[in-house]
Amino acid sequence: MGNIDKKKVVIIDYKLGNLFSVKQACDTVGMNAIISSDKTDVLNADALILPGVGAFLEAMTNLKQLGLAEAIIEKVNNNTPLFGVCLGLQLLFSESEEFGAGKGLDLISGVIKKFPDNLENRKIMVPHIAWNTIYKFEQNWSEVPLIDLKNDDFMYFIHSYYVKPSDNECILTKTNYDGIEFCSAVTKNNIFATQFHPEKSAAKGISIYKNWAIINNLL
């Protein structure tokens, strides 16, 4: 079967960071994914992936300049599935507490906070760069891409900021970094997003891409 029949997934390129591994993960599970910064591609996509490494402010600036911010909001409101990864999760939220960073896409209500550099007189190393466990919170995982995972499975994290949703209902997983508990995955309607990097989390991480594709009929 050729790619013609397959639904088109667009990995949104806003000119920050490395999209190679996200594309590899999509290819590995059999999605028809392209990397694009073109607003028209985004508007014509059957599903979107919003990856990201780097600074929130720079990311939002680039998304706006490329006309992608509006396009993403329009697509999500029209029920197109969106998968956010790392900074791509943070960008979905209302605003960042990072100095001068301002507003996000505001598709999910909440703020982005930085890890403290100490807690109870203990030094906290920032960024949080580690394999860490994810555990269930409000929602169960039976109908989301985490379906093949167990409570306390390890995922790969690399970030200095984390999200604090206004509404607990969207929280899929939590993670504890050296005494600080934070939200590590969310879902809301057609949005699914992780703070960790499934494409860097070995076979279990790749199962998340596979199940996201299956749930959204992208294969």
Partner 1 sequence: MKTIRIIPRLDIKGPNLVKGIHLEGLRVLGKPSDFAKYYYEQGADELMFMDVVASLYERNSLHDIISETAKKIFIPITVGGGLRSISDIKEVLRVGADKVCLNTAAIKNPQLIRDASRMFGSSTIVVAIEAIKESEGKYLAYTDNGREYTGIDVFEWAQKVDELGAGEIVITSVDREGTGQGFDIDLITKIRSLVSIPVIAHGGAGKSQDIVNLLKQESADAIMVSSLFHYHFIKENESKASTLEGNVEFLKQKRNFHTFEPSSINDSKKLLIENNIKVRF
Nearest distance in Å: CB 6, partner 1: 20
Query: What are the angstrom distances between the C-alpha of 21 and each of 18, 105, 172?
Result: 7, 24, 24
Q: Is position 18 an interface residue for partner 1 (rule: CB under 8 A)?
A: yes
Report residue 57 as tokens: 């402010």
Helix, strand or coil, per DSSP, at residue 42: helix
Compute the distance between CA of residue 212 and CA of residue 207 in angstroms, rounded to an integer.
8
Evaluate whether 19 touches 53 at the Cβ level (below 8 Å): no
Binding-residue pattern over the window 96 to 125 for partner 1, x denoting contact by CB under 8 A:
---------------------x-----x-x
Q: Report residue 185 CA to chain centroid gap.
A: 8
Question: Is 197 one of the annotated active-site residues of the chain?
Answer: yes
Q: Is position 210 an interface residue for partner 1 (rule: CB under 8 A)?
A: no
Compute the distance between CA of residue 55 and CA of residue 82 in angstroms, rounded to an integer.
21
Question: Is 120 one of the annotated active-site residues of the chain?
Answer: no
- Residue choice 8, 17, 94, 113 for contact with partner 1 (CB under 8 A): 17
Contact set for partner 1, span 166-205 (CB under 8 A): 177-178, 197, 199-203, 205
Catalytic residue numbers, as ranges: 86, 197, 199
Q: Can you give the binding site for partner 1, defined by CB under 8 A?
A: 16-18, 20-21, 24-25, 28, 53-55, 87, 117, 123, 125-127, 129-133, 154, 156, 158-160, 177-178, 197, 199-203, 205-206
